[in-house]
Amino acid sequence: MTLEAQVQHTDGTPTFAMLRTLGGIAMLSGLLVVLVYQYTLPIIAENQRIATERAVFQVIPGAVSKRDFIVGMNRVVPAEEATDVEGEAIYAAYDTAGQLKGVAFPGAAQGYQDVIKFLFGYDPACRCIIGSKVLKSTETPGLGDKIDHDPEFLKNLEALDASLNAGGDALANPIVTVKHGSKKNPWEIDAISGATISSAALGRALNASAQLIVPLIERDLDLLSVAPSQAR
């Protein structure tokens, strides 16, 4: 091919048309991603709401209804009134008579694989933790996930001491995870042998959240005791 022919061949390449086509494909792909995201977002949110509601009733045995609150700016506010408050969601749960059975609150800590998210149940009557549920985890199946299924381990969380100090602004004793078989105090969690990292993550998550949230629960117990039917 002569130099003149090569130049003519090059000049004839539809560069603009190719770029226009690629640009159109990119725009269409982006639009499809946005549409799929907008379509699935409310579905994901509803699934999360259902999962959280189920978890609340798991960590607070005997509860049949709940009321949502927001903990932020060192105060507890009903969710329906918290338009200007940012913070963690907590859930007061009630029995069939509308009596407060407990309050569920979230916690999170780094596990072996990734951050593990929990929901914990607190009973003001005994000032103790009465339940735990893993909301999100990528821990090793059969090992790390035992913190959500192992019956012996979960006994730690049936009446775990979470009483406050004399000032009422923190736990009297930090909640800690101890080596399997060495638990001596009611605020200690007996770790699972072979899953100590996940066990320790639960202890850290629970202690960090309880130190902040339990004092506010106790301070605003009258507000939290108002069942949904009584709040209207």
pLDDT in tens for each of the 232 residues of the chain?
A: 555 555 455 555 567 777 778 877 888 787 777 777 666 666 656 666 677 889 999 999 999 999 999 998 888 999 988 777 788 999 999 999 999 999 999 999 998 888 999 999 999 999 999 999 999 988 777 667 899 999 999 999 999 999 999 999 999 999 999 999 999 999 999 999 888 999 999 999 999 999 999 999 999 999 999 988 776 6
pLDDT of amino acid 214:
97
What is the longest distance spanned by two Cα atoms in the chain? 95
In this structure, which amino acid lies at residue 167? G
pLDDT of amino acid 229:
74
pLDDT, tens digit, 9 for 90 and up, residues 2-26: 555 554 555 555 677 777 788 778 8
DSSP state letter for 119: E
Strands 188-190, 176-178: pairing kind: parallel
Whether the CB-CB separation of 134 and 118 falls below 8 Å is answered with yes
Taking alpha carbons only, the member of 68, 90, 132, 106 closest to residue 217 is 90
Instruction: State the sign of the Cα–Cα–Cα–Cα dihedral 182, 183, 188, 189.
Output: positive
Task: Strand 128-136: give its sheet, edge to edge.
Answer: 75-78, 65-72, 88-94, 100-110, 115-123, 128-136, 160-161
**Phi–psi pair at 30, nearest 5 degrees:** -65, -40
pLDDT of amino acid 27:
81
pLDDT of amino acid 121:
98
Burial bucket for residue 73 (CB in 10 Å: 0-12, 13-18, 19+): exposed
pLDDT of amino acid 83:
78
Taking alpha carbons only, the member of 105, 77, 111, 107 closest to residue 91 is 105
Record the tokens describing residue 140, joined without a space: 């090793």
Per DSSP, what are the bridge partners of residue 136? 117
Instruction: State the sign of the Cα–Cα–Cα–Cα dihedral 221, 119, 130, 197.
Output: negative
pTM for the whole structure: 0.80
Cα–Cα dist 132/197, whole Å: 17
